[in-house]
Amino acid sequence: MSGPAVKAGYAAASTDGGHSGPMDDLSWALTKDRTVNWDLLQNFATRSLADQVYVGKTITEQFYGKPPHHSYWNGCSMGGRQGYMMAQKYPDLLDGIMASAPSLSMTYLAMGDYWPQIVMQESRTWVSNCEFKWFAKKTMEACDMLDGVRDNVITDPEECTFDPQRLVGEKIQCDGKEVKITTAMADVVQKIFEGPKTPYGGRLWFGLPHGTDVQSLANISIAEDLRSANPFGISSAWLKYLVLKDPKFNLSKIDYGTYAALWTQANQEYDWILNADNADLTVFRKAGGKLLSWHGINDQLIPYTNTLQYRNRVEKEMGGPAKVNEFYRLFLAPGVAHCGGGTGPMPTDALDKLVEWVEHGEAPETLDARTVDHKGELWSREICVWPKKMKYMGFGDAKRASSWSCEGGEELEGEHVDKGPDFLGGLKDRLLGLGMGLKIN
């Protein structure tokens, strides 16, 4: 994060939160007697964030001989969570916060990301990446044109009601042989997209929107026709080190009932220290801070619906959407995966829009977004400020932002679970971490 910021004229700083190893290495979280190392966890969760800002501002002032006139945060995934944490716990340290795809409630997200493995394990049905891709292809064929444009993007996944059971009995070529789609395979796909539930059907966490790639979370190993779990490293490490406190625990022993019990345990133990879901941003607003957040609708690791739920909770806490829009704006990017990638146009100017808002009072109504398709053709959009949604006007080149408009505006509640959630999240090669920018000139 620091390189582009420096190139753009910022004095920049970043932090690893006290841990320089891989994101899925949580061995530091346990002491030798297998108790939680609360000091290191506190460093990771919050303390390192404020320290970074204090140290960064001090060094900047010493070097330039004057303090920065504005200070910004720019982070995605874990860095997004940290940006929200800054607004909640250190509300007067920054002028503007750009927090993308935030892992707001880590305790929920860490458990939720393991759900696909539980589903396949309990059903004794291990669906391969090839088979998942075929289900995804059929879903896209059914729902791509709901917005009037064939572009491999389901603009509003809530409108897609595709049922994987319709595919039972079809035959496909996968993994070097003919595969017949079974009811059990369709059940696995359906349960994964519906999201974690208790053994009695109660919702624990958000599911995945149609059009989202599940390979990261529903990955398996195939060796000589034998299929086995190959879980997302962060979620399995979370269970072993922080929840079970046993690095050698065999996760295949976890059934639906145990999973629900561990879910409750994890939230009771770590909600207070890790989750950035306090909806009261009064002090941040009074300090003049501005929070700009965008989230890819097809984020495969952190459900955008959690960010949407948090935004709705802030509105209820702080006087409704109009009042909240004065200091906090959310943008949802259809087709975009975790912190970028996917098939949809990705925001390209979010930080610039935040600076304009903070320094010139120009609140953003849209974010410019672009992507290049498999043919090398450029697609552009203007991502609408929530709750407005993009709509193709029915004429003009669908590849151009000028052929789309922002419509709606009614405040929508979105999905709801008992409490706002999210986690660490982020494939290691996509994790942007966190960053702070200080403007001097």
Rounded average pLDDT per 10-residue block, the chain, 441 residues: 76 87 91 95 94 94 94 96 97 97 96 98 96 97 96 95 97 94 98 96 95 95 89 96 97 97 97 97 98 98 98 97 98 97 95 97 97 92 96 94 88 45 30 42 45
Q: Is residue 256 part of a domain?
A: yes
Residue 336 is which amino acid? Answer: V
Strands 436-439 and 70-76: antiparallel
pLDDT given at position 423: 31
Edge-to-edge strand ranges of the sheet holding 346-347: 346-347, 366-372, 378-384
Task: Say if residues 284 and 91 touch (Cβ distance below 8 Å).
Answer: yes
Query: In which domain, by residue range, is 10 found?
Result: 2-104+275-363+423-439
Q: Is residue 61 part of a domain?
A: yes
Task: Say if residues 408 and 7 touch (Cβ distance below 8 Å).
Answer: no
What is the spatial distance between Cα 428 and Cα 408, in angstroms, rounded to a whole number?
Answer: 37
Strands 177-180 and 220-223: unpaired
Q: Strand runs (DSSP E) across 298-435, as ranges?
A: 328-333, 346-347, 366-372, 378-384, 389-392, 404-407
Q: Is residue 55 part of a domain?
A: yes
Task: Say if residues 24 and 234 touch (Cβ distance below 8 Å).
Answer: yes
Going 279 to 285 to 287 to 289, the CA torsion angle's sign is positive
What is the spatial distance between Cα 79 and Cα 248, in angstroms, rounded to a whole number?
Answer: 29
Count up the domains in the chain and report the number. 2
Task: Say if residues 438 and 10 touch (Cβ distance below 8 Å).
Answer: yes
pLDDT given at position 437: 52
Do 234 and 148 sit in the same domain of this protein? yes
Do 151 and 291 sit in the same domain of this protein? no
pLDDT given at position 429: 28
Q: Is residue 415 part of a domain?
A: no
Do 230 and 89 sit in the same domain of this protein? no
Task: Choose the final residue of a domain: 232, 249, 271.
Answer: 271
Provide the annotated active-site residues.
77, 299, 338
Task: Choose the final residue of a domain: 210, 244, 271.
Answer: 271
pLDDT given at position 271: 97
Do 151 and 237 sit in the same domain of this protein? yes
pLDDT given at position 175: 86
Helix H or strand E segment including 235 = helix 233-237
pLDDT given at position 412: 42
Do 167 and 35 sit in the same domain of this protein? no
Do 204 and 132 sit in the same domain of this protein? yes
Q: Is residue 417 part of a domain?
A: no
| HSE, side-chain direction, 13 A CA sphere, residue 269 | 19
Q: Is residue 407 part of a domain?
A: no
Do 196 and 293 sit in the same domain of this protein? no
Do 124 and 244 sit in the same domain of this protein? yes
Q: Is residue 254 part of a domain?
A: yes
pLDDT given at position 274: 97
Do 24 and 99 sit in the same domain of this protein? yes
Report helix, strand or coil for 106.
helix
Residues 6+ apart with CB under 8 A from 114: 217, 231, 232, 235, 236, 238, 239, 251, 259
Tokens at residue 363, please? 């609140």
Do 265 and 349 sit in the same domain of this protein? no
Give the CATH number, domain containing residue 343: 3.40.50
Do 130 and 235 sit in the same domain of this protein? yes
Do 248 and 337 sit in the same domain of this protein? no
Q: Is residue 403 part of a domain?
A: no
What is the spatial distance between Cα 43 and Cα 214, in angstroms, rounded to a whole number?
Answer: 32
The total of other beta-carbon atoms located within 10 Å of residue 331's CB is: 23
Task: Choose the final residue of a domain: 244, 271, 298.
Answer: 271
